[in-house]
Structure 1
Amino acid sequence: MFTRGNTGARNHGLRSRDMARAGRNAMTEACESKTTSYSTAQQNADRFEKFARYCVDNFSINDSRKIENSHILQYAEELAERVEDGSLSVSSAHDYLSSVNAVIAQMRQDNLVRVPAAQTNIPNRSHIAEQSKACSKDLHQHAKSLLDERLSILSEIQRQLGLRFEESVKCNPADLLTQVDRNFNPVTRTSHVNIIDGTKGGRSRIVDITLKAQIEALKKAAQIQGSHRSMIPKNLSYKEFRSHCYSAYSKIKGYSPHKERHHYAQHKYTQVMRALSGQNNILAPVLCKHSRGREHIKHIASAIGSTYQRAKELDYRARYAVATSLGHARVDITNAYLG
């Protein structure tokens, strides 16, 4: 029979200095009290072990008393990114997060530290967005008012260029501005930049520069950047700065940097559809009242006066443009952003 020690002690008195082992002991406790089945306890403990190792590697935390929502939120964002790049299934991401919440609750004996999947950017189990996860203009402005100057500018870069968090902090805004000037097309009055720092697998991608707001975001970022090569403060490592950022994000209800990327994706879809069809009112399915799939294609066909097949082709081309701008090789990943 497992007996817990002093709940105020390291790892809530669960008889181990190692958080992963303490989490397993917590599941033994839950199993013996018959609040959790043996198989569920084992699965939760195994999944929690990955979170515990993540905390040691990223935060140097090996004591459950120090775990906060910001740590779970950052872990959830990593799970969401792994779903995006295809290295983790949606169901597995949900299971991992659920297990972390369950084990932390058992360790703490309360639900004060908990991050539901609905508050993260992990897609729903169908992998098709049913509600928009884009950061609204009001939430964006509210977040900027609460964030420090550097993080506020980062939110603009993420929103205007569709960058992942890591890409936004590791990019070199001064260099990107140089690229804007060098790649400027006087005929279309547009430009583009090559994003490579912080990308998944070091795979570079082209992001079109078509809006003044994009250039303004880079200019403001370059001012904050100063002589440093990235947006990471000189006195901090990437891991330290990331922890600082997610601690700030966790204090803003409903906000995460990935929501800015969702906004970019939805805006990009409408922008590309406008260029392809001449219509400026074709929104992403998740923003429309009509159903996704066939109903959305019918809506496009009606709006532009074309055949169903032509509308389907344009939708695919717009989704392809969104996927490549986000750094994805799979067009179907846009379902999680656009519906």
Structure 2
Amino acid sequence: MALVGRRDGRNFGYGRQLSYAGRQALEDLFAGGHFATVKAHSDRWQAFVRWCRSEDGAGYNDARQIDRQTLEDYVAYLRQQIQQGELCIATAQNRLSSVNRTLAALRGDQEVRVISPSRALGRQRSNVRSQAPDGQNHQQVQRVLQVLLEQEYERVAAIVLLARATGMRLREAILADLPRLHHEAKHLGRINIQDGTKGGRSGASAPRWIIANEQVNAALRLASEASPPGSHNLLARGESYAVFLNQIVLPSREILHEHGLKGFHELRAAYACERYEQLTGHAAPVHGGKGYRFDANLDQQARRQISLELGHNRVDVISAYIGGRT
């Protein structure tokens, strides 16, 4: 959306409300695309706006009033939230990063920003999972599926089951070539995740083979049933990925939250924890498993295998899914 007023007007020309202005500036910055990124930044910006309007905040409703002192006060507030256990360090850093991005979009420069969110908060974020992921319990997943199907979110139900059964990312589940995966499952007994992968990791150079067990086959059947007529994946013909996220996936997230699932990524972590136990015979570290103490080589081999299955090329990333070794 174009500026609604002059660039030097209230909220730098993006309207009278600070919350609205931030969202519109982000949409302009990303030229109407990258819907999930805009949504994430916008949600964190709203948290900043709520703080601004609170008793602890600056009381501003115009981005032109926000200066470095405002941001320092917000950093102090976030630091206090962390110390009280109300906020984790990663969430706080993400909020500061999104405030930086949104202010830059509004202002058209980077004159007012938090130079280093991690340094400002005084702590380094940890990429080691310390809490067990949602979706480990298959009965919980089945309850979510039932509600999604009852409310005619068949395609979202398929995404949930694919993510839990194969460790697919959201984009990978949506864009999966279902006829090819069915053929591989039937004739090879395994499937190769190649569509919608991150960072160009596809093809023979980056195979991601997953054993086609009963759970995987059930996920593929549900996805095929949910796939629109004439489509090879979960998108209808002529339907864009962004529109599908906006009109179908986003509204369904409330159902996930109501049933104890923070998001689709948690299902990838649940898959990883289950695979670790299958490969080592020990519970994942985040579940209190100490297998790495008994057989460090087996632990490393399992992490390497899970890394391949999740589409990563670094074993250390797996600690974000299953926990660390301490």
Q: TM-score, normalized by length of structure 1?
A: 0.59
Task: Answer whether contact 2:156 2:249 (CA < 8 A) is retained.
Answer: no
When residues 236 and 316 of structure 1 are mapped into structure 2, their CA distance, relative to the original with a 3 A threshold, is: same
When residues 58 and 146 of structure 1 are mapped into structure 2, their CA distance, relative to the original with a 3 A threshold, is: farther
| Residue of structure 2 equivalent to 1:317 | 301
What is the aligned counterpart of 1:232 among 230, 235, 239? 235
Cα deviation, 1:149-179, whole Å, max 9, x if unaligned, reads 1111111011101100110000111210101
Structure 1 residue runs without a partner (length 5+): 1-8, 27-44, 62-66, 74-88, 104-123, 184-190, 274-278, 302-310
Partner amino acid, structure 1, of 2:239? L
Cα offset for 1:216?
1.3
Distance 1:170 1:58 in 2: 16
| Residue of structure 2 equivalent to 1:199 | 197
**Partner SS state of residue 33, structure 2:** helix
| Residue of structure 1 equivalent to 2:247 | 244
Distance 1:55 1:143 in 2: 34
When residues 90 and 318 of structure 1 are mapped into structure 2, their CA distance, relative to the original with a 3 A threshold, is: farther
| Residue of structure 2 equivalent to 1:219 | 221
| Residue of structure 2 equivalent to 1:159 | 164
Q: Which moved more, 1:243-252 or 1:147-156?
A: 243-252
Partner amino acid, structure 2, of 1:263? A
* 1:263 paired to 2:270: yes
Partner amino acid, structure 1, of 2:96? D
Task: Answer whether contact 1:143 1:255 (CA < 8 A) is retained.
Answer: no
Distance 2:235 2:20 in 1: 39
Task: Answer whether contact 2:36 2:245 (CA < 8 A) is retained.
Answer: no
**Partner SS state of residue 57, structure 1:** coil
Distance 1:165 1:154 in 2: 7
Please list, as runs of the form range in 1=range in 2, the aligned pairs for 1:169-208 lying within 5 A after superposition: 169-183=174-188, 191-204=189-202, 205-208=207-210
Cα offset for 1:71?
6.1
**Partner SS state of residue 32, structure 2:** helix
* 1:72 paired to 2:43: yes
Task: Answer whether contact 1:164 1:261 (CA < 8 A) is retained.
Answer: yes
Cα offset for 1:97?
4.2
Task: Answer whether contact 1:134 1:260 (CA < 8 A) is retained.
Answer: yes
Task: Answer whether contact 1:70 1:249 (CA < 8 A) is retained.
Answer: no
When residues 194 and 54 of structure 1 are mapped into structure 2, their CA distance, relative to the original with a 3 A threshold, is: same
Cα deviation, 1:196-236, whole Å, max 9, x if unaligned, reads 11001331232322521111110221122243121112242
Cα offset for 1:95?
3.3
Partner amino acid, structure 2, of 1:53? L
Please list, as runs of the form range in 1=range in 2, the aligned pairs for 1:1-339 lying within 5 A after superposition: 14-18=10-14, 53-54=29-30, 56-59=32-35, 72=43, 93=94, 95-97=96-98, 125-137=125-137, 139-147=140-148, 148-183=153-188, 191-204=189-202, 205-225=207-227, 226-252=229-255, 253=257, 254-273=261-280, 279=281, 282-288=282-288, 296-298=291-293, 301=294, 311-339=295-323
Cα deviation, 1:245-273, whole Å, max 9, x if unaligned, reads 44224323243111111111111111111
Task: Answer whether contact 2:185 2:212 (CA < 8 A) is retained.
Answer: no
Partner amino acid, structure 1, of 2:316? D
**Partner SS state of residue 262, structure 2:** coil
Partner amino acid, structure 1, of 2:135? C
Partner amino acid, structure 2, of 1:56? G
Structure 2 residue runs without a partner (length 5+): 45-89, 105-123
When residues 14 and 330 of structure 1 are mapped into structure 2, their CA distance, relative to the original with a 3 A threshold, is: same
When residues 98 and 127 of structure 1 are mapped into structure 2, their CA distance, relative to the original with a 3 A threshold, is: farther
Distance 2:307 2:254 in 1: 30
Q: TM-score, normalized by length of structure 2?
A: 0.61
CA RMSD between the two structures: 4.0
Quick one: percent identity of the two aligned structures?
A: 24
Distance 1:60 1:95 in 2: 18
Task: Answer whether contact 1:129 1:338 (CA < 8 A) is retained.
Answer: yes
The number of residue pairs the alignment matches comes to 239
